Chains A and B, each alone.
Chain A
């Protein structure tokens, strides 16, 4: 019996562990391997209409409990990426296409191209803290416009990835849902900076980057909890600092139907199976049959 089945609206997943965008999902073979290693679905690297080289290195630097990155959305453009993704989709891998663009028409075009090659949904990246697209997710009107335009252009589910770098994440979540979002992902990275004190240089070539890993987990759990407690009724995907099954469980209890993992893959692919095993063990021990029985239970505890 599979204790870990879950659903994001019409998207059915064999297990709730999704690979977060930008972490290894850059090529067909990379995506296939992540699925073989046990992921319930894989989100692609965020893709734009034409190719982007990304920022110069250093693009990654670590801090005591997190990782700061400013990749700059490097991607080969939708033409090449759709070929990579098509190859994975053909073999039955559940792929979610991550979409960004510098205009509404670019968002629409990229989303449609992903739809054409058989992705199970698209995730709109309006939340990258070191990119202009990140500004969309900090503005209610822009969020509504982008989500609505994509929603009107594709039939597959549209997931919206939110940024924590706002005063009130619920306000943006509501706007996305009003525009038709089928699910929400929370959260993208938290804007940060690291300076080398020997030389005085900011380490990342782009100066600012996005913080991920254990450092941001409490922020991410809070965001999921707040959205679940609001009038938003679409499924939530929780992401930020998950590195073991207890972390994943925390997000489910806060109200997430599925979770994404990124930075913890640094420790190896086996983290995927370990989390699944831990969650299954927890379900059995507590005589639970469906993840639904734990999703959002923290809201009943106060």
Chain B
């Protein structure tokens, strides 16, 4: 069961600079996955790494969106149609189902696991507001996909870039006050760099808002036994990767401050 299932790559799309979306089919994952859960992607002979699922389509079609940041992700980004990867999962606890009015906040590739949630909201005509943050137009994934999904007049999709090359200049967190004062959300979902998540956490704690975030730690087994991905007493792979605000309260001193490397050594973020 926890053995990689080898899948052929159906299609590779360039999503942004150094970011690719890779399409493949895996029936087991597609029939079980809840938005926010992750899979372990095996690159035969090289590595196996955790990845969010960024699209769930018809006929067991799935996609991952990968940013090249090191050896394994660079290799993944260089793969072509017809090449193979292995996948096992889906693993972990995903996001809770959307409420009546939802806010989704993604930073860079952190938007990946949130994409199926947006797809779900749009498909079911559930109210959803999306904030996407990135460094610049060229480096921010999903802009085109989200623009295609949303009607620009509805004002429910906003982008920020650090250099102002697209959308508003600045950080997604700069838009929080405005969007939250104008709406009443019964779910706020976020994924992205941990410092961004920490800011959102602090904001939502102060305003008592129902936040859920997806976190990252060094994942090895993916099934909750090896103890590599602890954050406090939570195992990111089995108890997360999605955590609710009440759970984040217990790890607020670690959030945005500390992570652990492959050996388990503490590292300042």
Contacts and interface: CB of A to CB of B under 8 A. Distances in A.
B119 to A, nearest CB: 29
A76 B48 contact: no
A263 B225 contact: yes
Given A60-B220, A62-B2, A67-B2, A23 B230 contact: no
Specify which of A22, A75, A199 lies most central, judged by the most chain B CB atoms within 10 Å of its CB.
Answer: A199
Interface size class of B (residues with CB under 8 A): 35 or more
Given A60-B2, A263-B225, A32 B233 contact: yes
A144 B220 CA distance: 34
A149 interface: no
B230 A54 contact: no
Interface string B224-268: 111110101101000000000000000000000000111111100
Nearest to B46: A56
Contacts of A60: 2, 220-223, 225-226
Interface stretch (A45-53, A111-119, A172-180, A218-226): A45-53
Contacts of A67: 2, 225
A71 B220 contact: yes
Interface in B143-172: none
Given A196-B44, A199-B84, A201-B45, A62 B220 contact: no
Specify which of B4, B264, B265 lies most central, judged by the most chain A CB atoms within 10 Å of its CB.
Answer: B264
Contacts of A45: 227, 264
Interface in A41-93: 45, 51-54, 56-63, 67, 69, 71, 74-77, 80-81
Given A27-B230, A56-B47, A194 B3 contact: yes
B42 interface: yes
A80 B235 CA distance: 19
Nearest to B254: A29
Contacts of A196: 3-4, 6, 44, 86
Contacts of B226: 22-24, 26, 59-60, 69, 71
A198 B6 contact: yes
Contact of A26 (B46, B48, B230): B230
B1 interface: yes
A45 B228 CA distance: 10
A265 interface: yes
A80 B44 CA distance: 33
A77 to B, nearest CB: 7
A65 B4 CA distance: 16
A263 B2 CA distance: 13
Nearest to A63: B3
A74 B3 CA distance: 21
Contacts of B46: 56
Contact of B228 (A51, A61, A74, A199): A74
B3 A61 contact: yes
A112 B262 CA distance: 25
A29 B40 CA distance: 25
Interface in A217-275: 262-263, 265-266
Interface residues of A, number: 43
B227 A61 contact: no
A59 B228 CA distance: 11
A157 interface: no
B49 interface: yes
A205 interface: yes
B263 A57 contact: no
Given A62-B3, A71-B220, A53 B262 contact: yes
Contact of B44 (A23, A71, A194, A201): A201
Contact of B4 (A32, A71, A203, A266): A203
B2 A61 contact: yes
Contacts of A80: 264-266
Contacts of A24: 224-227, 235
Contacts of A27: 227, 230, 260, 264
Contacts of A201: 44-45
Interface string B1-12: 111101000000
Contacts of A52: 263
Contact of B261 (A53, A59, A71): A53
A266 B86 contact: no
A30 interface: yes
Contacts of A63: 3
Nearest 9 CB-CB pairings of A with B: A26-B227, A57-B48, A62-B2, A198-B6, A29-B233, A53-B262, A58-B48, A76-B265, A51-B263
Interface of A: 22-27, 29-30, 32-33, 45, 51-54, 56-63, 67, 69, 71, 74-77, 80-81, 194, 196, 198-199, 201, 203, 205, 262-263, 265-266
7 contacts: A26-B264, A54-B263, A60-B221, A61-B4, A196-B44, A199-B84, A263-B225
Given A74-B262, A77-B265, A266-B224, 10 more contacts: A22-B227, A23-B227, A24-B226, A24-B227, A27-B264, A53-B261, A53-B263, A57-B40, A62-B1, A62-B2
